[in-house]
Amino acid sequence: MQGLPAIQDIVNLAAKIITSRTFLEIVVFPGFLNVFVGAALLTWLERKVIARVQLRIGPLYAGMWGILQPIADGIKLLFKEMIFPELADAKLLMVCALGLMMIAAAPVVAIPFGDGLVIANMDVGLIYVFAAISLFPTLILLIGWGSNSKYSFIGGLRSLFQQVAYEIPMWLSVLGIVMLTGTLNLTDIVRAQEKLWFVVPQILGFVVFFAAVLAELERIPFDLPEAESELVMGWMTELTGAAFMVGFLAMYTKLYVMSALITALFLGGWSGPSILPQPVWFLLKTFLVATVIVIIRGAFPRVRVDILLRTGWTRLLILAFANVFVTAMLIWLGFGWFWRV
């Protein structure tokens, strides 16, 4: 029994890890709790805002203003029975739903919620976020196929086509920002916006990125994979109970993370007058972007699939290239110093 560490040592090590800054960052803010509470809050926000757009009221009875509605939904879904079709691969579905939730929350690791308040200050933070985003179609395709149902499979295929088509304008529209700041580090990109937010000189890039994000989130007007009048629920049709809760929450986690990304890249991140602390500014802007996305859902009809794909592959691509050209002109005319960190 000579080499075994004593209980005292283990308890000490555990205490040191739990109170260390990184652990707090990962678990509370801007990590696990932040994403979880943010996604749940967004489900409530979406139902309220959509209701107001449609002249109704939305959730009302669960707590004041229905704010406990997401908790009620979660508890209900946890207690429901998970029914899978007989020939569907239940293990694959559950693993992929969990994987979807993990990948949806993954970009938060690189997004700075305040100066220095970032879990992993990666020098390749932007590419890491895009790599995580590019993993979505794989899991969605697997869920759609593993459900062994025509509706799910077609929904999964449509989702795959749509997300792959809009990944390229998304990558290209950020190229202007990278050209201006010369770095892929998200903290440096936010710091470079202290004088002027990137939404002004990169307005074309902002529009393209916003449209591409709407397509990646499968939200109206790019709602075809979830066309409620046609495909039941698209690729999520056969997910039930806890698996559905995980998939559903993954969609809103994606919304939260992408809104945070738009804020960090184009809207100046945590910059704002110092009456409020920096993370509060970041969260305010993030929820503003999310509200705009939700209002768009209530206000626009759905785009047909061939127009959708053609827009992604041709028109948005041309706009993104135009943005790169405009940025190159800006730099050539000597304005590049304005945003150098």
Partner 1 sequence: MPDIAFLALSGLVIASAVFALEARELIYGAVGLGLSLIGIAGLFILLGAEYLAMFQIAVYVGAVVVLILFTIMLVERERGRIVEEEEPVRLGRAGIYVAGLVALAVAAAVILLAPVSPEAPEFYRAPLQELGRSMASSYSVALVILGLLIGATVVGGLTLVKIEQKEKTSGTAQ
**Which spans of this chain sit near partner 1 (rule: CB under 8 A)?**
92, 122-124, 127-128, 130-131, 134-135, 137-138, 141-142, 145-146, 153, 160, 164, 182, 184
Residue number, 130 or 151, with CB nearest to partner 1: 130
Residue number, 138 or 240, with CB nearest to partner 1: 138
Nearest distance in Å: CB 57, partner 1: 42
Nearest distance in Å: CB 135, partner 1: 6
Residue number, 127 or 284, with CB nearest to partner 1: 127
Burial (CB count within 10 angstroms: exposed 0-12, middle 13-18, buried 19+), residue 171: middle
Nearest distance in Å: CB 139, partner 1: 10
Residue number, 153 or 266, with CB nearest to partner 1: 153
Nearest distance in Å: CB 315, partner 1: 19
CB atoms closer than 10 angstroms to residue 73: 19
Determine the Cα–Cα distance for residues 142 and 284; give it in Å rounded to an integer.
Answer: 35
Determine the Cα–Cα distance for residues 139 and 156; give it in Å rounded to an integer.
Answer: 9
Nearest distance in Å: CB 123, partner 1: 6
Residue number, 161 or 281, with CB nearest to partner 1: 161
**Residue 169: is the preceding peptide bond cis (ω within 30°)?**
no
Nearest distance in Å: CB 130, partner 1: 6
Residue number, 164 or 322, with CB nearest to partner 1: 164
Residue number, 51 or 92, with CB nearest to partner 1: 92
Nearest distance in Å: CB 82, partner 1: 21
Residue number, 139 or 220, with CB nearest to partner 1: 139
Nearest distance in Å: CB 145, partner 1: 5
